Amino acid sequence: MRLQLVNLLLFSDKRKNFLLLLAEGPKSIGEALIELQVPRISFLPQVKKLKEEGIIVQDGDMYRLSLIGEILVNKARPLVDAAGVFESDEFFWSQRKLDVVPFHLLKRIGELKGCCPVEPGITHGFDSFPDIVENFSEPAEVMMLFSYFHPHIPSFLLSVAKKGVELKLVFLRVVFERFAKDFHNEAEQILKQENSSVFVLDASAQETPALIAVSDHTLILGLFNKKGRFDGQYLKGSEPSALYWGKELFDHYMGEATEISSM
């Protein structure tokens, strides 16, 4: 890819957004102006540049990607999506411990587009659990990993399990041991539920995310900060690509864990 083409693709938001729009299908200038919310006087010169370089093609009043344009946009999209994820909150991402995410998923971090960093409100302090309770009480399937202990975990998980929700749980061993010791009855009841699967992971908290919670409609991802603490901030999203990414991350850790069936 010539540097000039790289510049055309990435170094102008108007050109970049127009190309991503055309990836969805042909558009007229009028349609593009409405969807992109840009002034005509500054937009038309960018369209002309893309047309002169053969990245887009004009058919009457409609514009579409050329074959070269389709190839370039498909190659550039992962980079654009990844940049968008990190730009959503640069401070949040700069403070997260990202090496607990497998590299093949880090390369696809753009799939988390649409996810927003969330910091619990003052009334909940560093408590992300109200959001979990709100979003994970009724789905058909729930997958959760906990690398820290929260006193609401036992009763909440038992209530979900009793609803017949397909529940897959991964705990760090130290977390499960505390669960089993201090909330023995709840742990035993969860293990007895046919729709529940419980796994124990032999790892340190520094080697895993703090929290993974994913269902058919919500992803909540908590990552320890670079000091090794879970400061209560987490990522939340509902885009299909983010849910799929979150399930892959959960499956990675579940695959390293050992299933248990009794106390």
CB half-sphere exposure, 130, CA atoms < 13 A: 11
What is the token pair recorded at 62? 């409609």
Which tens digit of pLDDT belongs to each residue from 217-226?
999 999 998 8
Closest listed residue to residue 138, CA positions, set 162, 158, 163, 155: 163
Q: Give the mean pLDDT of 241-249.
A: 96
CATH number for the domain formed by residue range(s) 3-81: 1.10.10.10
Q: Report the pLDDT value the prediction gives residue 263, as an integer from 0 to 100.
A: 63
| Widest Cα–Cα separation across the chain | 72
One DSSP character per residue, 162-205 reads HTT-EEEEEEEHHHHHHHHHHTHHHHHHHHH-TTEEEEEE-S-G
| 160 neighbors 142 (Cβ within 8 angstroms) | yes
What are the residue boundaries of the structural domains of the chain, listed by start?
Answer: 3-81, 97-260
Which tens digit of pLDDT belongs to each residue from 103-160?
999 999 999 988 988 876 544 444 556 677 777 877 778 999 999 888 888 888 988 8
pLDDT band at residue 230 using 50, 70 and 90 as cut-offs: confident
Tell me the C-alpha distance between 171 and 147, whole Å. Answer: 6
* Topology, domain 97-260: Endonuclease; Chain A (3.30.870)
Q: Report the pLDDT value the prediction gives residue 136, as an integer from 0 to 100.
A: 80
Average pLDDT, the chain: 87
Which tens digit of pLDDT belongs to each residue from 4-18?
766 777 777 888 889
| Fold match flag (3-81 vs 97-260) | no
